[in-house]
Amino acid sequence: MDKIEKFDEIAKDIKAAIDATFTSIAEIYASNQELLMRKNPSENDDGKLVFPKYGNREETRISEQELRFEFIQQLLSLAPDYFYSVETPTQLKYRFSKPRTDFKEYGVDISVPRIQTQADLNYDEAHKGIVKRYHSICESAQFDTVLMNSEGNRVAYIEFKGMNAPEKEYRKDFLKLNAEGCEHPHLKSEKRGKRKPCFFIQLLKNEKQLKEEFLNSDISDLGLNDTTYVCYTLDGKQKYCRGDIDVFNKDSDYIKI
């Protein structure tokens, strides 16, 4: 049996990687911005990742890509037994946008975001070969990163976000994480098991952006549920979290939201 299997141990490994990522990403942001490097060449011998500028304006881009690449590098340096995949297809199917046609007469729930139901499958079956270029009501989605053990078992699910995002983007990601990481009943029995650590990791420029997102409302209203939310602000170098994983809640360096 692969040693990467216990929830608390996996969560602890991920937290260590997140902490190291936030420390490293702050140093990289301070020295390795494309705009800054053109004036003062970087002397950062440890971090080679660069925050690029936008192509058509003199402004540094902050995105989930830098966050994800640095996290993977830190995780594998701290816990090299993990395997990982990127843009990983989901096991369930979802509906994330309103359909052009009203399917309610077929018993189909048109609310979004949501998980595929039996009514969706019934509609699909009834319309195959009838509608030209027919597409299923629900489709597979993707996870930014899935951690696996050496046996190819998925042991943790992670979504990354850089800067602010529309409310629907949070709802989509939280839905996927809770459904598949927390073993939704819709998963086939052979794909179900124990709850797995699920993380939504966000990188923001400052606390003002965080307040615009969550501090003036309850993040749980967006469907956080069993997912752990973790955030870092570059200007204030402050860490925030929300969730029920002890290793985060016991760390006083994290502000609980």
Question: Taking the domains of the chain in order of start, what are their residue ranges?
Answer: 7-86+142-256
**Average of pLDDT values for 54-63?**
87
Q: Which amino acid is located at 52 in the chain?
A: P
Tell me the mean pLDDT in the region 166-171: 86
Which amino acid, 150? Answer: S
Q: Which residues contact 247 (CB under 8 A, 6 or more apart)?
A: 8, 11, 12, 15
Position 169 pLDDT exceeds 50: yes
Give me the pLDDT at residue 145, please: 97
User: pLDDT band at residue 216, thresholds of 50, 70 and 90?
Assistant: low
* Residue 191, SS3 per DSSP: helix
Distances in whole angstroms, Cα of residue 70 to Cα of each of 17, 23, 29, 75, 214: 9, 10, 12, 9, 25
Q: What is the mean pLDDT of the chain?
A: 84
% residues pLDDT > 70 (the chain): 84
Sheet hosting strand 254-256, strand order edge to edge = 114-115, 83-95, 139-148, 154-162, 198-204, 228-233, 238-242, 254-256
Taking 80 as the threshold, does the pLDDT of residue 104 lie above it? no
pLDDT band at 224 (very low <50, low <70, confident <90, very high): confident
User: Model's pTM, two decimal places?
Assistant: 0.88
